[in-house]
Amino acid sequence: MFRSGAESVERMSASHSGRVPEYVAIGHITIDRTPSGNMLGGSVLYAALTAARYGLRTAILTRANLGALDGPMREQLDAIAAEVEIVTQASGGITTFTNTDVAGRRSQTIHDWGGAIDLNGLPPLWRSAGAIHLAPVAQEIDPRQVNRLSTHLLGCTPQGWMRRWDEQRFGQVRPSPLRLPGDLVSRIDALVVSAEEYASARDVIVEIGQRGLSAVTRGVQGAALIDRGREVDVPAYRARVIDTVGAGDVFAAALFAARSVRESVTASARYASAAAALTVRGAGLAHVPTRDEVEATIERGNRRA
């Protein structure tokens, strides 16, 4: 599934372009098909906006055919690029999903794939960013290339490594166990998965949690953390839930961002929980919260028991 080499790149520059980013997210920008129309998606967009609004200089490395985006989605991406620098490797397609609920569980269909991201194409100075967030959604990052990164904090939301599909005809996405090379697992400092992914990633969660930080998000039940072998329960903040898409990515990026500037695990988890709660108040990227909104929520202290 992996191909090397990126023949050309498109660079969309934020106001801090030219300076070394403090937070780099790597993964596919996607199109998500919904009943109300196509929307921009992908863990990297939710994560990068969260980190940027936390206050970090933030950048994305992705691979996609951005020419496939229609007017409204392209306009939205241009607006995001005002906050986040985006480097896009050339591709013939853009990863496209349809997500539906079946008996309370998500069923996912993939229609197109943007291709493998070549980490050799990561700008050299980005490789030592304060935090690098591996955010695959569709097997687009080759784990064997990650050893070229030299970051202070290597964070990971591994959902894209737990998905399989027919590579010729696309179609239904099937879950699969998380299997990563031992040398990569030993380098990951912080890992976040959902409760639905827990059974498929249990061994990796425990291993990373014994020496670093692992988190399992549980929606309105908050999150369960393993912090260097110590189990920590993180209550959720009360929220009127409209759409949960992206909430886990926001939680992860908020956690990684705060930890990258050496906030305590307790403070980082509190910030992440509040940020995720604010995200579910509406659909799409427009509801990724600002730092002021998150801190106001924390100050009110409206947490579930």
| pLDDT attached to residue 93 | 95
Residue 86 parent element (H or E): strand 85-89
Sign of CA dihedral 241, 238, 132, 15: positive
Residue closest to 114 by CA, chosen among 64, 39, 160: 64
| pLDDT attached to residue 24 | 98
Residue 119 near residue 141, CB atoms below 8 Å? yes
Average pLDDT, consecutive stretches of 10 residues, N- to C-terminus, the chain (305 residues) = 53 71 97 90 97 97 92 93 95 93 79 96 91 98 91 96 94 96 96 96 97 96 96 93 91 98 97 96 91 95 63
| pLDDT attached to residue 104 | 63
Location of structure tokens 């956690």: 255
3-class secondary structure, 228: coil
Q: What is the pTM of this model?
A: 0.93
**One-letter amino acid for residue 6 of the chain:** A
| pLDDT attached to residue 5 | 43
- Check residue 232 and report its DSSP letter: E
Residue 174 near residue 163, CB atoms below 8 Å? yes
Q: Does domain 9-299 have CATH number 3.40.1190.20?
A: yes
3-class secondary structure, 221: helix
| pLDDT attached to residue 303 | 65
Residue 89 near residue 123, CB atoms below 8 Å? no
Gap between the Cα atoms of 115 and 89, Å rounded: 9
